Structure 1
Amino acid sequence: MKPKLGRFTNTFSAEYEQVLVDHIKDLSNRCMPLMKKEFLKLAYDLAEVMKIPHRFNKEKASAGKHFYYDFMKRHSDISLRAPESSSMMRAVGFNKPQVDLFYDNLEKLMKQYKFTPSRIYNCDETGVSCVHKHQKVLAPKAIRQVGKLTSAERGKNITVLFCMSANGHFIPPFFVFPRQRMNERLMMNAPDESIGVAQPKGENHIHLMSSPPHTTHKLQPLDRTFMKPFKDAYNQQCDLWMRINAGCRITDYDIAGLVKEAFIKVARLDIAVSGFKCTGIHPFDRHLFSDLDYLPADMTNIPPEQTETASNALNNEQAVVVSNLITKEQMKESEQSNSDPITTSPKPSTSSAPDLVQIIHNLSPLPDAAKTNSISKKKE
């Protein structure tokens, strides 16, 4: 009999650890990942329930750091990461029935009007401010806090509307200034042929192809490939402006020129083409997203919020614009499609017995809002 190697003795078999790994991935795909403390608590509870000999801390009811580091070394596909905030409404909105409805409507328009890539546009607005966000900088290690100048502590947003086509054509930006009267000086150094107004303005002779609410992070080309590079380029231009104009602050009259420099850098053909491709709009691909992409929606099981608007018709030059609106016809079809079952994720693909997977789910349940609501109603 070989002597045990202290902390290097594995508490769980490879089979048990694989079930833990699958559970971690499943929760992460549902936008509800485990924290480190939760994982160590789950490992302790599993060992206790399965009556597996262990050296975990019984007072804290948690596995220790040695188990954690050894586990992470054996499973390099898992790492401790800082999550990005994802709103509940985005998790609810991006579900299979809603996405299928979007592609159904898009397919009908494409078949009816035979749109070429030059007539497929996506428009979206963003806010730019006189108070920009800083990029990472070089500074001495000995300094505990690194400062960098901005124009003010707080600034107001100027809305900029961007529009690009599936073949890489960008329409000059449209500026909306939060003020009662327009001043021509506000458009100094603006991109050529761009327009600035002091109030919103409508669009004519355009087919508005609407996307479901809270799905732009997946279905809007500008959100997927343009907005982040533009914001980064804009902040860089603001940093450069502050350095060149020492002692001055950025005002509303400088915004248009800063947007122009950032727009020139980012408005590239490859960015536009990639945006339409990765959303499945052009080339048309309704099967772009897999069941894995819809797991956050399965977590809530809450019907998505509907917004009612009217769609515009056109008789002359035909074009289609993907925007963040929804029509009455889509609402009716959406209500019917919401009754369809949403595809759930497959069970962990391991050789472990089903009862082991069930025990893991009992110790660390998969989030399900519908089940929680039904339990609370029974208690009432």
Structure 2
Amino acid sequence: MPYSQEALYSAVEEVKHGSLSLRGASKKYKVPVTTLHDHKSGKVAPGAKKGKDPLLPIDKEKDLINYAMQRGDMGIGFSKQTFLRFTGEYAASEGVYFKGRVASEKWWRGFKVRHPYFSLRTAESTATGRHMSMTRSHVSHYFRELKTVLTDNHILDNSSSIWNMDETGLSLAPKPPKIIARKGSKIVHAKSSNSREMITIIACGNAAGSIIPPHVIVPGKTKRALHSYDTGNAPAGTQCSVSDSGWTKQGISELWFTETFLPNIGPQRPQVLIVDGHDSHHHVELIGVARKEGIVIVELPSKTSHFTQPFDRSVFKSFKTSWGRHVQDFTSQTGVAVGHSQFFRIMTKAWNDALTSNNVKAGFEATGICPFNPGVIPDIAYSPSELYVATPLDQCKEECNTVEQVHSNPSVETAVLPTVCAASSSTCTENDVIVSIDIDVHEMDQVVDLPVCLDENGMIKVLEEQLGPQQGPDQSPQPSASKPECNSSTLPDQTSNLRECDAALALSVVESAITDEKINLYNNTYQSGSTLNDSMYETWKMYKEQISPRPITVPIIPDNPMLVLPKQQYKKPIKKNKYFVVTSDECFKAKLEEKVKREKKISDAEDRKHQRQLKRENREKAAGKKIKKEKVCLKEQI
């Protein structure tokens, strides 16, 4: 008998006041007599939920689901069966026992009702290298370089001059969807192509939503491989090439650049092309052509394209989904499996469905490229990298002064200037970790000349000889003709001329060296309690806390050790991109040197191969002469 909580409350009140009997209230409000009796007698407390209490208390269940969702964010989430087994073990540690120490299906159904804010999702398989590489420092370095390129070329807000190129593969036998079949059928078939070939599509578009015709690469050794394809049904302007593997190669990438990209981008120069780190995208011949044509090629951070590549974020998933749908529609309507002769007919439909102006623009927005907004990358993108920290070194090396030492918590990748691990002044313990950190260099010529300096502890000091005691933090500092020199060697001799700098003045000195945009970033980061991999931010925060302290947040340690997140795993230092702008003079020079070394290596290998062949031929000649001589001797004996 369905009833509302309001009806139950009214019925109980009338029974308690004697206005109605139990049966009369039950008949009037449609509430069972037993329910009214239990609420009147106090057996059931007001506001109690229906059914039995769960085996685990609600607060323990909340801890459990929060732990599971945290693991999911880090890429090590639970499947349903694993979660049920873990719940059984966790409940046993709390003194509650499920049958067989595994939570039941009935408990799972009730658990979903009590906590509707989670769901089972199909996880996307992501390589460990991508988890380790997607760090804040790695990505922020890329965004700094990208902004410099866009600003220097005056195209930061010119969406039509910012392009992205990427490849994807289409299979002639995509995964079939669910189909209607007999209930209880153990085997369900779906007709598909005999070929398992993967055909590569090169797509390119700009932040304004313009799209360049595709370049299609089919497996084969000669152009004759294209004769079996219906190229007449391809999208207008499509170029086709063949490759042994069906994937992009250096020559094909250069062919796409000269015959597809350049003719479709217009005469405006310079323009920026953003690509991933595949070898075919930054070989020296392509870089030479790009430099000559006024195209700046920017390479994405290694193994981060799943969050930084526009086409990966908003285009290719819908493209492949549309391709699979059209393939299944064609097969179900005609009964013919898709082959070479139907490829372009179906590929054109999928291309028109997915490669839309809105989809392409959404990709550039989601990756923070245009409009330029590095903060659009979600925090969850960096969560998997928190499982890994840099490998600790056994001892300090000579170049130890080029890295910063992080104590007590290896997972923290921030440090306060000017703390460094100098081999001459400190020694490393087994608990210390040496990690390479990208630091925003503080250019002193960008700062208003003030009579201040840094002492040996990184604190800002005021030179009283040049700044009298009457000048306060509210007065505007006057530029001086020369900058005071201050270092650890001269500080002991100047103690009489130094006094502690007011925090407000010190903060103004730091803020005079950075842009308004970075000041806003620092303020937002400070208020949220998060961290930045920026030494200047740590200095800024040190003085900011003296002026407006922020409430200290204490990390919550779980009561049950089973809910502690997995320990961090040590990894090798990330091999970061040496050059993000591959068309720069430094990168082009390095590529030329690499080409010379590679050609020399190939030449040396050919020489060694030739020498081995000569030796083999000489041995064969010597063996032939020996056999011939033995035959002559044998004839003479006969």
Same structural fold, with TM-score higher than 0.5 when normalized by the shorter chain: yes
Preserved CA contact (<8 Å) 1:126 1:159: yes
Change (3 A) 1:192 1:372: closer
**Aligned-pair CA distance for 1:75:** 0.9
Matches within 5 A, 1:58-69: 60-69=100-109
User: For 1:260 and 1:372, how far apart are their aligned partners in 2?
Assistant: 44
Q: CA RMSD of the aligned region, Å? A: 3.6
Partner of 1:70: 110
Does residue 271 in structure 1 map to residue 315 in structure 2? no
Which of 229, 233, 239 is 2:322 aligned to?
233
Higher mean C-alpha displacement, 267-276 vs 205-214: 205-214
- Once the two structures are TM-superposed, the CA of residue 143 in structure 1 deviates from its matched residue by 4.9
- Give the 3 Å change call, closer, same or farther, for CA 264–56 of structure 1 in structure 2: closer
Partner of 1:162: 203
Opposite residue 138 of structure 2, the aligned amino acid is: Q
Aligned: 1:8 with 2:59: no
Q: Aligned in 2, Cα 1:150/1:34: closer, same or farther, shift over 3 Å? A: closer
- Alignment match, 1:20: 64
> For the structure 1 residues 131 and 65, does the alpha-carbon distance in structure 2 shift closer, same or farther, using more than 3 Å as the test?
closer
Q: Which amino acid aligns with 1:367?
A: P
Cα offset, 1:198, TM superposition: 2.2
Name the SS of the counterpart of 2:213 in structure 1.
strand
Contact 2:91 2:97 in 1 (8 A): no
Q: Is 1:366 the counterpart of 2:366 in the alignment?
A: no
After superposition, the Cα gap between the structure-2 partners of 1:190 and 1:36, relative to the gap in structure 1 and judged at 3 Å, is closer
* 8 Å CA contact retained: 2:313, 2:363: yes
Specify which of 71, 74, 95 is matched with residue 30 of structure 1: 74
Alignment of 1:322-333 (within 5 A): none
Aligned counterparts of 2:369 and 2:571: Cα–Cα separation in 1: 37
- Deviation (angstroms), 1:73: 1.9
C-alpha contact (below 8 Å) 2:192/2:337 kept by paired residues: no
Q: Distance in 2 between matches of 1:275 and 1:182?
A: 34
* Structure 2 counterpart of 1:201: 253
Note the alpha carbon deviations across 1:254-277, whole angstroms, 9 max, x for none.
433332222122221111111111
Change (3 A) 1:118 1:32: same
Query: Are 1:126 and 1:160, in contact at CA under 8 Å, matched by a contact in 2?
Result: yes
CA displacement at 1:146 relative to structure 2: 3.4
SS of residue in 2 equivalent to 1:32: coil
Summarize the Cα distance change of 1:151–1:48 in structure 2 as closer, same or farther, 3 Å threshold: closer
Deviation of the 1:132 alpha carbon: 3.4
Alpha-carbon distance between aligned partners in 2 of 1:37 and 1:139, rounded to the nearest angstrom: 27
Query: What do the CA deviations read for 1:11-41 (whole angstroms, capped 9, x no partner)?
Result: 4444333322221221111111124454445
Alpha-carbon distance between aligned partners in 1 of 2:336 and 2:107, rounded to the nearest angstrom: 55
Counterpart residue type for residue 569 of structure 2: A
- Give the residue type in structure 1 aligned to 2:321: D
Code of the aligned partner of 1:158: I
1:297 counterpart letter in structure 2 = S
1:219 aligns with 2:320: no
- 2:172 paired residue among 125, 130, 145: 130
Residue 296 of structure 1, CA deviation: 0.8
- Picking from 298, 301, 306, the partner of 2:386 is 298
- Partner of residue 280, structure 2: none
How many Å separate the matches in 2 of 1:129 and 1:64?
A: 41
Matched AA of 2:59? E
CA gap of 1:98–1:70, structure 2 versus 1, over 3 A, is same
Q: Counterparts of 1:346-357 in structure 2 under 5 Å?
A: 354=556, 357=558
Contact 1:97 1:342 in 2 (8 A): no
Compared with structure 1, are the counterparts of its residues 109 and 354 closer, same or farther at alpha carbon in structure 2 (3 Å cutoff)? closer
Alignment of 1:37-56 (within 5 A): 37-50=81-94, 52=95, 54-56=96-98
Structure with higher helix content: 2
Contact between 1:124 and 1:161, CA under 8 Å: does it hold in 2?
Answer: yes
Q: What SS is found at the alignment partner of 2:123?
A: coil
Unpaired segments ≥5 residues, structure 2: 1-41, 244-251, 258-289, 392-434, 441-529, 534-553, 573-638
Count of residues in correspondence between the two structures: 326
Please tell me whether residue 172 in structure 1 is matched to residue 216 in structure 2. Answer: no
Q: 1:272 to 1:61 in 2, by over 3 A?
A: same
Offset, 1:372: 10
Q: What do residues 67-122 of structure 1 show as CA deviations (whole Å, max 9, x unaligned)?
A: 44333321111234443322222212222111112211111111111221111111
Q: Note if 1:284 corresponds to 2:372.
A: yes
Distance change (3 Å), C-alpha of 1:28 and 1:177? same
CA distance in structure 1 between the partners assigned to 2:374 and 2:532 by the alignment? 16
Which runs of no fewer than 5 residues in structure 1 stay unpaired?
304-333, 345-351, 374-380
Shift in Å, 1:177? 2.2
TM-score normalised to structure 2 length: 0.46
SS at match of 1:8: coil
Contact 2:64/2:563, CA 8 A, preserved across alignment: no
Aligned to 1:96: 136
Checking the alignment, whether the CA contact within 8 Å between 1:299 and 1:366 is kept in structure 2 is no
Structure 1 residues 67 and 343: alpha-carbon distance in aligned structure 2, compared to 1, 3 A threshold: farther
After superposition, the Cα gap between the structure-2 partners of 1:372 and 1:35, relative to the gap in structure 1 and judged at 3 Å, is: farther
Contact 1:42 1:364 in 2 (8 A): no
Q: Is the 8 A contact 2:330 2:336 kept in 1?
A: no
SS of match in other structure, 1:147: coil
CA deviations over 1:281-324 (Å, ceiling 9, x no partner): 11111111343331111123368xxxxxxxxxxxxxxxxxxxxx
- The letter for the 2-side match of 1:337 is D
Give the residue type in structure 1 aligned to 2:240. Answer: G
| Structure 2 residue identity aligned to 1:162 | A
Question: Which SS does the other structure have where 2:200 is aligned?
Answer: strand
Cα gap change, 1:9 to 1:343, in 2 (>3 Å): farther
Amino acid at match of 2:209: G
| Matching residue's letter, 1:99 | V
Structure 2 residue aligned with 1:119: 161
CA drift of 1:242 comes to 3.6
Higher RCO by CA contacts (8 Å cutoff, separation 6 or greater): 1
Q: Matched residues in 2 for 1:353 and 1:175: separation?
A: 53
Specify the code of the residue in structure 1 equivalent to 2:164.
N
Quick one: percent identity of the two aligned structures? 22
Counterpart-to-counterpart distance in 2, 1:241 and 1:191: 18
1:371 and 1:198, CA in 2 relative to 1: closer, same or farther beyond 3 A? Answer: closer
Partner SS state of residue 236, structure 2:
coil
Which segment drifts farther, 157-166 or 207-216? 207-216
- Deviation digits for residues 50-78 of structure 1 (CA, Å, limit 9, x no counterpart): 5x5x3533xx3344444443333211112
Q: Give distance in 1, aligned partners of 2:106 and 2:133.
A: 41
Q: By how many angstroms is 1:196 displaced?
A: 1.0
